[in-house]
Amino acid sequence: MKKVSALFLLLSLVILIVSYSLWHIKINEITPKESLVSKDIDMPKFSDYDSNNRGSTPQKPALVDFNSNDRARTYKTVLTAAESNGPNFAGHYTIATWGCGTECQSIAVIDSLDGRVYDGVGSQVGMDYNINSKLLVVNPPYNIYELYNNDSKKWNPSLTTRFYVWENNNFKLIKEAKINFNVESLDN
């Protein structure tokens, strides 16, 4: 029995390490699996949209202002939990995410300086962002690829990758692209 438990524990640890390795994404660039994506798509990079807010991140984020947004009270628990972790986007903002059904995620943006809550955008297969950039990537290509397991027959033809820049407390769409995967590159 001890051998079975030890083997199960070891197998679980290996699966955890492999899973983390597969999902770990380099946050400085948007194309960690660029060989999978058609070269005709010029994707914006995080470094092209620097937040210019270094040093303005508060040591202790402001309390969430639930009166600043009509939907804020509805998502009080998730907003409070996200803000308690501190800023994770564009210098001093916190992105809070929650599921809204199958292949559906919603977000709100919280300003850590004053606690104001702003409406976000939705996604089908996740988002990518970081604290040093104003760029938000909705439905990142690598998430699309992972979701459909390289099976072009299952790919949702309406699914696109969208790139937004955070300006004046709103997301501005700067690019939308249908992602075409270079499946042949996987065979090499």
The secondary structure of 50-111 as a DSSP string is: B---TT---SSPPPP-TTSSTTTTTTHHHHHHHHHT---BTTTEEEEEEEEETTEEEEEEEE
Mean of per-residue pLDDT scores for the chain: 78
Residue 25 has pLDDT above 80, yes or no: no
pLDDT in tens, 66-121: 999 999 999 999 999 999 999 999 999 999 999 998 889 999 999 999 999 999 99
Lowest mean pLDDT among 26-40, 90-104, 144-158, 170-184: 26-40
Q: How far is CA 103 from the centre of its chain?
A: 14
Residue 57 has pLDDT above 70, yes or no: no
**Residue 156 confidence (pLDDT):** 74
Q: What percent of the chain shows pLDDT beyond 70? A: 68
Half-sphere exposure of 18 (CA within 13 A, CB side): 6
pLDDT band at 157 (very low <50, low <70, confident <90, very high): confident
Q: Are 87 and 57 in contact (CB under 8 A)?
A: yes
Query: Which has the closest alpha carbon to 82: 60, 109, 57, 59?
Result: 109
**Residue 173 confidence (pLDDT):** 97
**Residue 117 confidence (pLDDT):** 98
Q: Are 165 and 171 in contact (CB under 8 A)?
A: yes
In eight-state DSSP terms, residue 17 is H
pLDDT band at 12 (very low <50, low <70, confident <90, very high): low
User: Where in the chain are the domains?
Assistant: 2-187
**Residue 46 confidence (pLDDT):** 92
Structure tokens at 98: 């929650």
pLDDT band at 128 (very low <50, low <70, confident <90, very high): very high
Query: Of residues 11 and 52, which shows the higher confidence score?
Result: 52
**Residue 136 confidence (pLDDT):** 97
Backbone angles phi, psi at 49, to 5 degrees: -130, 60
Residue 8 has pLDDT above 60, yes or no: no
Distance CA 21, CA 4 (A): 26
Distance CA 93, CA 87 (A): 5
Write down the pTM of the prediction.
0.73
pLDDT band at 58 (very low <50, low <70, confident <90, very high): low
